[in-house]
């Protein structure tokens, strides 16, 4: 089974790609931003749920994914962290 982080990274990558999102100014795939946030969170004391939420933090705002989807796939802790990221 994949780790929580691996599942969150794969899910975020797919939903941002499906939404045809690109970064402003660079036109890089949008996932470069959540990747940078995940690395920033990794640089301080963190939990697996915090890293997963870093990967997922823009999915509700920028895609058709809901907080209920996040809770069902990744648990209530990750969902709460994503909700607080707004």
User: Which sequence positions are flagged as catalytic?
Assistant: 61-62
Structure tokens at 5: 């982080």
DSSP 14: H
Structure tokens at 77: 């802790």
Count Cβ atoms within 10 A of the Cβ of residue 74 and give its class: 0-12 exposed, 13-18 middle, 19 or more buried. Answer: buried
DSSP per-residue codes, 21-53: -B-TTT--BTTHHHHHHHHHHHTSS--HHHHHH
């Amino acid at each position: 089974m994949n780790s929580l982080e691996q599942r969150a990274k794969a899910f975020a990558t797919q939903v941002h790609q499906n939404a045809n999102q690109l970064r402003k100014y660079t036109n890089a795939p949008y996932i470069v931003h959540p990747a940078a946030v995940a690395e920033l969170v990794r640089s301080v004391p963190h939990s697996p749920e915090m890293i997963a939420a870093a990967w997922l933090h823009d999915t509700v705002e920028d895609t058709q994914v809901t907080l209920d989807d996040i809770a069902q796939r990744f648990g209530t802790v990750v969902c709460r962290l994503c909700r607080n990221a707004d």
